[in-house]
Amino acid sequence: MLFEEESAGGHWLLAFEVLRVNLAEQRDESWTFSMLTRGDRQEDVRAFCQSIRREDKHSQIVVVGPRTPLLDSYDVQFLDRDYGQYAAIAKKKNDVVEVATGQNILFAHDRYILNRGFLSGFSTYGYDFEYVTTKQFYSSGKHYPALCAIDDLRELILGRVYDTQNDKEFWQTPYLNGGFFAVKKHVIEKHPLNPMLFHHQAEDVEFARHVASVGILPLLNPYSSAVTNAPETSTEPFSQAFRSDFYRTIEQYYPSTSARAKGIDMIIERLHRARFEENATWPRLFAIVVREIYRWLPP
């Protein structure tokens, strides 16, 4: 803090000096676009490269997968390595980081293309981010979950998944859909994805949880977008919500803000004590929630 002084009326003026780290990297607008593929969706990979080159002729494109002459005209760098029989998507993304020349690294699975205006949307949004995604749509135009959250029950237990569409609200475990997101190179070099996780093992949730532990939360750029040709049934398990079901449930019982906050704090405190001090079972925790809710019901 530089100084503090008391002004008229009992108000205080505080002045701080903020030292930004990695400022040059945070202002850097260079890109590395990457796509992971097994080689069986070559036309989709070509469509992705076309969507990049129609507005960016020079940025690096990295395809993690087998070489194909279909991409000869797009100036593509291939990472055609032996990753074994399992879908080692975390390791593949870490390998992209090793060869990336751009400070902004986009990771995409082989079902996405960029919408027109993708880069101009980032010029509008700005480059001072660490971990970000854009709006995403099905081919039909229907919204596709991009910024998500999950009920984190600790240890290795994950609960209901939410399509939040909202990076201004605090969520217990927010994360970005791992099929399409961007991260600063200096961030992911220090905090790589867990190479022990494979496809369908929530590597995106684990990465988000890890970077959140050092103060980096996921963001949503509303000015850029992408399209996926994934089947619309693929996100049926998602619950659409701007507030988690837990808070919305509690909110029903507390008409005043102060009472609601007090009730939530009491329930969270009681659950934490039961789980970590009393080693309560899950049925016991459920019983505690029900009892505490009724305890705080208005008369």
- Token code pair at residue 282: 């899950």
Q: Please give the tally of structural domains in the chain.
A: 2
Q: Which of 224, 240, 256 is the last residue of a domain?
A: 240
Asked, for residue 9, whether it belongs to a domain, the answer is: no
Instruction: Specify the pLDDT at position 226.
Output: 98
Q: Are residues 233 and 249 in the same domain?
A: no
Instruction: Specify the pLDDT at position 299.
Output: 47
Asked, for residue 16, whether it belongs to a domain, the answer is: no
Q: Are residues 271 and 233 in the same domain?
A: no
Q: Are residues 147 and 286 in the same domain?
A: no
Q: Are residues 149 and 258 in the same domain?
A: no
Per-residue pLDDT of the chain (299 residues; tens, 9 = 90+): 555 666 666 677 777 777 888 888 999 999 999 999 998 999 999 999 999 999 999 999 999 999 999 999 999 999 988 888 778 999 999 999 999 999 999 999 999 999 999 999 999 999 999 999 999 999 999 999 999 988 766 655 567 788 887 777 667 788 999 999 999 999 999 999 999 888 877 899 999 989 998 889 899 999 999 999 998 887 776 766 555 545 555 555 554 445 555 566 666 666 656 655 566 565 565 666 666 555 555 54
Q: Are residues 193 and 264 in the same domain?
A: no
Q: Are residues 249 and 211 in the same domain?
A: no
Q: Which of 221, 240, 259 is the last residue of a domain?
A: 240
Q: Are residues 96 and 207 in the same domain?
A: yes
Q: Are residues 277 and 156 in the same domain?
A: no
Instruction: Specify the pLDDT at position 19.
Output: 81
Q: Where are the alpha helices (DSSP H) in 150-244?
A: 185-190, 203-212
Q: How far apart are CA 58 and CA 64, in angstroms?
A: 19
Can you give the residue range of the structural domain that contains 230? 23-240
Q: Which residues contact 64 (CB under 8 A, 6 or more apart)?
A: 34, 35, 36, 37, 78, 79, 81, 92, 95, 96
pTM: 0.77
